[in-house]
């Protein structure tokens, strides 16, 4: 039996080139909201809401779960101003340092409320791991590759209990950026996880999913069984997909769950 000790330079070069082409074609590993489609999605939603007119329940409700220092919330508020749509933003953030930054940043805007909780599938307290205060990599999942240097205890809630307590009947847009606990947050919606209750869901997938011991397949199974269509987010569109094993590569990307009657775009850039 011949044992190959290493790849040739041509094999290494082909693998590197193939990887680059794959990630480019799949819109992977792009964290820029401006370029990866996140701002496009926000604008597409507000365009639709503006065309539909004033919501029968008043304000459109946006949940920014894992708000960090508020960049996504700021983008939502900017879009609301451009399209003249009335909104209320709930910015969920368990980190005390980020809570302070959020309150300072939005202190003059009554449309946003800082909610000082982490979100998962149980009402409890949990360790919250962060390499530095205010890090965008902070997580309920112990991610050893981020160089964790700080651990805090934070309060964790289920979204269905929060919705019932606050008397919120519907979420128009739920954004989940919770570094590995996205699936737990979805499960924490319980019976509310259906399109007539939560219209659009954006969630992250990537290395944090691997750290949490999860697969993209689990998201598809949960969301499709709850009545959603799952699409991958591209710079200028959504590509509706059925799950396939090659999609579980654990490189950063964003996916969107839509009610089957809600069409924003069916293409990709």
- pLDDT of residue 146 exceeding 80: no
pLDDT one-digit tens code per residue, 200-230 = 999 999 888 888 889 999 999 999 999 999 9
- pLDDT of residue 44 exceeding 70: yes
Domains of the chain, residue spans: 31-118+158-259
Nearest residue to 85 (alpha-carbon basis) of 115, 44, 37: 44
Confidence of residue 267 (pLDDT cuts 50, 70, 90): very low
Query: Any idea which fold 31-118+158-259 has?
Result: Rossmann fold (3.40.50)
Has this prediction a pTM greater than 0.95?
Answer: no
- pLDDT of residue 112 exceeding 90: yes
């Amino acid at each position: 039996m011949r044992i190959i000790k290493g790849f040739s330079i041509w094999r290494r070069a082909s693998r590197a080139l193939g990887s680059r082409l794959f990630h480019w074609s799949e819109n992977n590993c792009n964290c820029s909201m401006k370029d990866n489609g996140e701002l496009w999605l926000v604008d597409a939603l507000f365009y639709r809401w503006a065309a539909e007119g004033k919501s029968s329940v008043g304000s459109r409700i946006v949940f920014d779960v894992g708000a960090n220092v508020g960049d996504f919330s700021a983008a939502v508020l900017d879009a609301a101003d451009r399209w003249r749509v009335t909104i209320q933003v709930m910015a969920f953030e368990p980190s005390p340092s980020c809570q302070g930054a959020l309150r300072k940043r939005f202190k003059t805007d009554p449309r946003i409320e800082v909610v000082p909780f982490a979100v998962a599938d149980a009402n409890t307290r949990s360790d919250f791991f962060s390499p530095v205060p205010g890090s965008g990599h902070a997580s309920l999942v112990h991610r050893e590759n981020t160089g964790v240097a700080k651990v805090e205890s934070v309060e964790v809630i289920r979204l269905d209990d929060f919705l019932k307590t606050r008397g919120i009947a519907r979420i128009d847009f739920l954004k989940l950026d919770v570094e590995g606990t996205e699936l737990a947050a979805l499960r924490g919606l319980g019976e509310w996880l259906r399109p007539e209750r939560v219209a659009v869901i954006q969630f992250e997938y990537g290395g944090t999913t691997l750290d949490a011991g999860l697969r993209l397949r689990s998201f598809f199974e949960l969301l499709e069984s709850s009545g959603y269509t799952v699409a991958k987010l591209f710079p200028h569109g959504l590509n509706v997909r059925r799950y396939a094993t090659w999609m579980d590569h654990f490189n950063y990307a964003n996916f969107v769950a839509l009610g089957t009657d809600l069409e924003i775009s069916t293409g990709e850039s």
